[in-house]
Chain A
């Protein structure tokens, strides 16, 4: 195998390694909705001085919605 052939094969294999399925549309929509929430917060004039990042309220809401029960060692495993 020449260097050129190896280079070509490496490119093909790297591409195969990086192949992933596109997400379901609802995943992208959900993420955009979270962003819209931050946008709306800013457009509605929530005082950004309360937090350096105007996305903070949306982030808090998003994190609360994703919060999962904490697993403790030895429980359920």
Chain B
């Protein structure tokens, strides 16, 4: 199988149709990325926008990176941010309210009680910068270096954010366990 970089380069050099194979390879992953953060319906709506932007930007792809996923996640991230901004604007116009909360979708997927909700609350409470690295690694199975590339930060920064986020989660779960077993003084 040809690396994504080869297909993208080919698509930029007179064979634009080669790009469709890149989309085909990663469509489930990109849709899942969108769905995890904005819900299924929004993911359905936004997927095509990701392909159009990626196609338009393919001339700037770094062909030394064989796997296009981090690049595509970066584009999907921008599309999501715009979506959230627009949704907030629409809702504010319609109801005088602010903010759509992508974590509602996460809560919908979890049991009302149990450690999952505790962990979800802990993740939600993380600083956004730490949460984003954590979820790119945990949900998208990326390395900290790949996450750093998407976020435009040094790899070392991504690693330390990930370390802090994991430490927070461990602490929350350990405390919950101690509360439940009565091990805490």
From the candidates B51, B56, B96, B171, name the one contacting A73 in the complex (CB within 8 A): B96
Chain B residues positioned under 8 Å from A56 (CB to CB): 56
Q: Count how many pairs of residues, one from A and one from B, have CB atoms less than 8 Å apart in the complex.
A: 145
- The distance from the CB of B18 to the nearest CB of chain A, in whole angstroms, is 9
Report whether over half of chain B's contact residues are helix, strand or loop; otherwise say mixed. Answer: helix
Asked if A43 contacts B56 (CB within 8 A), the reply is no
Asked if A31 contacts B106 (CB within 8 A), the reply is no
Give Cα distance in the complex from A19 to B120, angstroms.
13
Asked if A32 contacts B166 (CB within 8 A), the reply is no
Chain B residues positioned under 8 Å from A72 (CB to CB): 93-94
Q: B127 interface residue, CB < 8 Å from A? A: no
Q: Tell whether A17 pairs with B120 under 8 Å between CB atoms, given A10-B170, A23-B40, A43-B17.
A: yes
Give Cα distance in the complex from A42 to B94, angstroms.
39
Asked if A1 contacts B115 (CB within 8 A), the reply is no
Chain B residues positioned under 8 Å from A32 (CB to CB): 20, 23-24, 27, 51
Number of B positions contacting A (CB below 8 A) = 51
Number of A positions contacting B (CB below 8 A) = 43
Chain A residues positioned under 8 Å from B116 (CB to CB): 13, 16-17
Asked if A39 contacts B16 (CB within 8 A), the reply is yes
Interface positions, chain B 4-46, Cβ under 8 Å from A, are: 16-17, 19-20, 23-24, 27-28, 31-32, 35-36, 40, 43-45
Interface positions, chain A 26-65, Cβ under 8 Å from B, are: 27-28, 30-32, 34-36, 38-39, 42-43, 52-56, 58-59, 62
A-B contact pairs, 26 of them (CB 8 A): A9-B115, A10-B170, A14-B123, A14-B134, A14-B135, A16-B110, A17-B106, A17-B109, A19-B109, A21-B35, A22-B32, A23-B40, A23-B44, A27-B44, A28-B47, A31-B48, A31-B50, A35-B48, A36-B20, A53-B52, A53-B56, A55-B52, A55-B55, A56-B56, A66-B45, A72-B94
**Which residues in B have some Cβ–Cβ distance to A below 8 Å?**
16-17, 19-20, 23-24, 27-28, 31-32, 35-36, 40, 43-45, 47-53, 55-57, 90, 93-96, 106, 109-110, 115-116, 119-120, 123, 134-135, 138-139, 166, 169-171, 173-174, 177-178
New A-B contacts (4) at CB < 8 Å, excluding given A7-B170, A52-B56, A58-B52: A18-B138, A27-B44, A35-B19, A77-B95
